[in-house]
Structure formats: structure tokens, C-alpha cells
Structure 1
Amino acid sequence: MTLTIEGFDHRRVPVADGVSLNAAVGGSGSPVVLLHGFPQTHLMWRHVAADLAADHTVIAPDLRGYGASDKPADPDGRAYSKRTMAADVVALARALGHERFALAGHDRGALVALRAGLDHPDTVTHLASLDVLPTLDMWDVMRGASAAVGFHLYLMAQPPGLPEQMISASADAFFGSFLDGWANDPAAIPSDVRAEYLKASREAVPSIVADYRASASVDVEHDTADREAGNRLQMPVTVLQQDWGAALGYDAAALWEAWAADLEHTTVTSGHFMAEESPAAVVKALRALMAR
């Protein structure tokens, strides 16, 4: 049985030609959209969403290509650009009656949120990023032996065919290695939730790879254009991030300051899956963000 966020409605909402998103919707009040990361689904927000629903309308979709959302083919390498995925999110919120909303993303979802903030500045009122660097900065800091921690980025950046074949051949071991290795507290992802993530991921290998491949191609083009034009996020921004800087040799706050005019950057002790490992801290940060 597919797990759900208790007390939330689950809807399929058309957002583009031939693409509908699965979304959990609950609560009432000012809207906030929560975007999941890899290798997860909207279920990663189950604790945070339940808390925020006390006074917000909470919308937690599966991104295109993930979970129960549609997984279109990617003939031109642009179906999973963060620009396209951000447009999905704006269309989803609009279809649910919200022209403006706060937006929080984790990991891959945070890259979609960043692009939404840059492309739709009059729509995204507040923006939160959980444990990721902007695409251009990520590629800049991943170098030398330390880049081995991001081997999957390079694997999935390769041309179509081999990455999909290799990952599909051992999908549970591949995706499970991240769920196990990136969590400080394995108990935060119980066995039934872990099984849900693995099932969803092994059924979505081509689209997950396409999402990552876009971050080595079309997403770089879009982010480079914004950097060269001096475009920055104009809404209040909160970043929660592990301290990888010491190992990889960068100042995360300084990198984010180049993208955000109004930034609160916090280094946290939680593992990568902070919405599941430290949901109270994430809720506190999101509430503080939306009060700015």
C-alpha cells in the first residue's frame, strides 16, 4: 500500500501538456509548497507538512519524473530542466487557486525552488533551500579526490543509455546507498518509508537520470545566463545546510550570498535528510522565514 501524509488529500493535477503531478494538499491559510529531494518523494515532508498545516495551506507534490507524478520522455534533454520543473510547480499552485506562495525545497527540489525564484519572482514570496548548493557552485567546488562523494552526479551526467542500464541493474542497492549513507539517524527513515522510496526510485530510473543529466547541461546554461546578467533572488531566502565546506574547501554562505539579496544561512548538525531527522528545526526555520 502506498504511504501518504495522514490527514492530507491527494490529487492529480495537470500542469503541462501530458504531465500531471501527484500532490498532497492539507491545512488552510497562506500557501507553502514543499519540494522533495533525491531519492525520495513528497512523503519526506510528512512531519513538517503536518505541523505547518495548522496555519498554512501546504502543497507537497511529487516532482515530475518522481513518485506518482508523470514521467515524460526526454527527447531533447530539456524535459527535466529545472526551468521546466519550476513551471510545473507554479502551474500546480495556480491550479489549486494560489497565485503567490512560499516555497521550500530539499536537495533536487531546492534546485527547482531556486529556478522558480529566479524565473517567477512575483510568484514566490519566500524561498528555503535545504542542503544543496546552486548548480553552478556545485560543479565549481566538486574537484579532486573530494569529488568522489558526488560520483552519482558524474554518472548520471553521461549520455543516455549506460547510466540507466547500470543503475537499473542494481537499483535498490544504488538508491539505498544514499538513504543509508546520508542520514545521521537511520531511524528517521523507517523501513516502510525506505521501501516506499526504493520502489518509487526503481520505477523512475530514466526520469531521475534525466533530472540529473539536465543539471550538467541545460541547467548550467540557464544559471550561467542569470549569473552573467546579475540576476538574484529578491524574496527572503533561508538556507539550511550541512557543513561540507571544510571538506570540499568552500564557504557555503558566501556562495549563496551571490544569489540572494536577503539571506539567512544556517549550518546545521543534522544529516542530509533534515526534514525527517530534525523536523522541528526545519519547521522553526520555515516559520521564521515566512514571518520575514
Structure 2
Amino acid sequence: MVSKTAVVDGITMRWEEQGEGMPVILVHGIPTCPALWRHVMPLIAGVRCLAWEMVGYGASIPEGVGRDISVAQQANYLVRWLRHLGIDKAVLAGHDLGGGVVQIAAVRNRDLCSGLFLTNAIGYDSWPIPSVKAMRATGPALRHLPNLAFKQIFRTFLQRGHDDSSRARDALEAHWPHYERHGGAEDFVRQVSALDVQDTLAVAGDLPSLDIPARIAWGEADRFQKIEYGERFARDLKAPLRGIEGGKHFTPEDHPEVVAQEIIALLG
């Protein structure tokens, strides 16, 4: 994978890229970055994979200061970035918040999306989850936590979302350094403060009319985004749902083979 950057409308945008061919755009969620897809991308051959970094997340945390980093606005940023790269047709894949981003992008730019893949994604009224709501409510106090204390909260959050403990430790090493390098808890509070369930509710009614190929993969034991929402996506998008028995929230890290297989099937 090659790390790339481009300045789009005054914002430095970052992504990881590999391969050539049909573009497949991978979008992460919170509190992750494009490294979420690090085990998936090598398993997808014969396509151009681009794992985009949301503005205000990962190495792009500084770009979020003073900007709208809501899920709806991330969809706008994503589309501008794609247009900047000259990509006018792509498969969009999203996890967690990234799933909300690609839903909105697909509904509002139907000419752009040739296929949609969701895995343990936000949608409808499924979010923000209770723990995130609690952290948002305590934001004024949380933002002042020293990095050592916030790292423990961060670690616990990741552990709750992984069914593979070794992958949870690996995830901490992949995603924590961006918070440690910048503002730590203050960055996370900025991210959760931008979350608004109306962003996905606004497009929920349009999902059944999308009429594009779609596939869903879902960790059945996810306590953050329940399997019932995966089933609802499957009905609305007329898409097959592949449940991952015992799988929790961070499926691209715990079950990259399953995620890659479903994206390949969508491409086929």
C-alpha cells in the first residue's frame, strides 16, 4: 500500500492505495483510520483499492479543527476527493461511521456509486451508541484527560468491539498513535460532538430505491451496531447478508477474509 495526499478545496486529504482497475473506496469509522482495512486490501486483487481517511481522523486530525466533520459533511468531502482524482464511478464500502458516509454519498450521487458494501455500519437511528453518547455528555471533563488515562478508555473501547484479543492489541497500535500525536481526548471529543443521527435518517427512506448491487457482512455479536440493523439494510438494499458468527464490531480487522470475500463477490 502507498500513502498518498492531495489538497482538495484547501483540505489536505490522505488515503492508502494499491492496485489498478475498478476503484473500490474503503471508508473507516470512529475511532479508526484507513489502517482499519490493512488486512483486507491485500486480499482484494485486480482492482484499485483506495482507503480514504475522513477529515479530522487519523493523520488528518488537524484538518478537522474548525471544520464540519459530521457524517453528512464527510460524504461531501469524499465526493469532492473522488471528483478531484477523476473517479466518476466506484464501489463504495464502509464500516461504522464510514458506512453512513457511503450511504449518504450513494443516495446523493447515484451516478457515482456502482456498488455498495456495508459492514457493521451506522444507519437509520442506530447511533450514536450509548457509550459514545456518555462520552459526548462528559466532553468538557473528558477533553482534559491526560493521554495515559484516555488511552485506557480507548483500549477498553477497542476491546469491547473485537472478538480476537490479539487483533484488538494490534488495533490499538494502529489507531492510538494518531490521538497521542495530536490532542488525545480533545480530538475524540471533537469527533463525537459532530455526530448527528439525522444525517442517516435523512437518507434512510431513499435506500430501497437505490437500485444498485449491494452486499452486507455483519458481526452477529456486535454490541455497538446490532445485527437487526444489518438485516434491515439487507431488506432495503435487496442485498444478501452474511452474518459472522461470534463476530463483533471491528470486522475488517477481526475477519478480513470474510470482508474481502464479500467485496469480491460484489465486484463479480
For the residue of structure 2 that corresponds to 1:252, the secondary structure is helix
What corresponds to 2:192 in structure 1? 212
Query: TM-score, with normalisation over the residues of structure 2?
Result: 0.84
For the residue of structure 2 that corresponds to 1:58, the secondary structure is strand
CA deviation string 1:137-157 (max 9, x = no partner): 446xxxxxxxxxx44321244
Structure 1: tracts of 5 or more residues without a match: 1-7, 140-149
What corresponds to 2:149 in structure 1? 170
For 1:160 and 1:189, the matched residues in 2 are separated by 25
Contact 1:245 1:252 in 2 (8 A): no
Contact 1:235 1:262 in 2 (8 A): no
What corresponds to 1:262 in structure 2? 238
The yes-or-no answer on 1:38 pairing with 2:30 is yes
Aligned counterparts, 1:83-94, within 5 A: 83-94=72-83
For the residue of structure 2 that corresponds to 1:12, the secondary structure is strand
What corresponds to 2:250 in structure 1? 273
CA deviation string 1:37-62 (max 9, x = no partner): 2222211211211222x201110122
What corresponds to 2:134 in structure 1? 155
For 1:73 and 1:188, the matched residues in 2 are separated by 30
What corresponds to 1:188 in structure 2? 167
Q: Percent identity?
A: 21
CA deviation string 1:218-262 (max 9, x = no partner): x41x434434xx32243222222223599999833453256x333
Contact 1:175 1:201 in 2 (8 A): no
For 2:188 and 2:49, the matched residues in 1 are separated by 25
Amino acid at match of 1:59: L
Question: How has the CA–CA distance of structure 1 residues 114 and 11 changed in structure 2, closer, same or farther, with 3 Å as cutoff?
Answer: same
Query: TM-score, with normalisation over the residues of structure 1?
Result: 0.78
Contact 1:245 1:251 in 2 (8 A): no
Shift of 1:111: 1.7
What corresponds to 1:95 in structure 2? 84
Contact 2:100 2:123 in 1 (8 A): yes
For 2:225 and 2:251, the matched residues in 1 are separated by 20
For 1:152 and 1:266, the matched residues in 2 are separated by 27
Question: How has the CA–CA distance of structure 1 residues 162 and 49 changed in structure 2, closer, same or farther, with 3 Å as cutoff?
Answer: same
What corresponds to 1:23 in structure 2? 15
Contact 2:15 2:51 in 1 (8 A): yes
Contact 1:86 1:113 in 2 (8 A): yes
For 1:250 and 1:100, the matched residues in 2 are separated by 29
Question: How has the CA–CA distance of structure 1 residues 83 and 252 changed in structure 2, closer, same or farther, with 3 Å as cutoff?
Answer: closer
The aligned length equals: 262
For the residue of structure 2 that corresponds to 1:235, the secondary structure is coil
CA deviation string 1:195-233 (max 9, x = no partner): 231111343544433332332x3x41x434434xx3224
Two-structure CA RMSD over aligned residues (Å): 2.8
For 2:215 and 2:19, the matched residues in 1 are separated by 23
Question: How has the CA–CA distance of structure 1 residues 249 and 181 changed in structure 2, closer, same or farther, with 3 Å as cutoff?
Answer: closer
For the residue of structure 2 that corresponds to 1:152, the secondary structure is helix
Contact 1:21 1:68 in 2 (8 A): no
For the residue of structure 1 that corresponds to 2:56, the secondary structure is coil
Shift of 1:163: 3.9
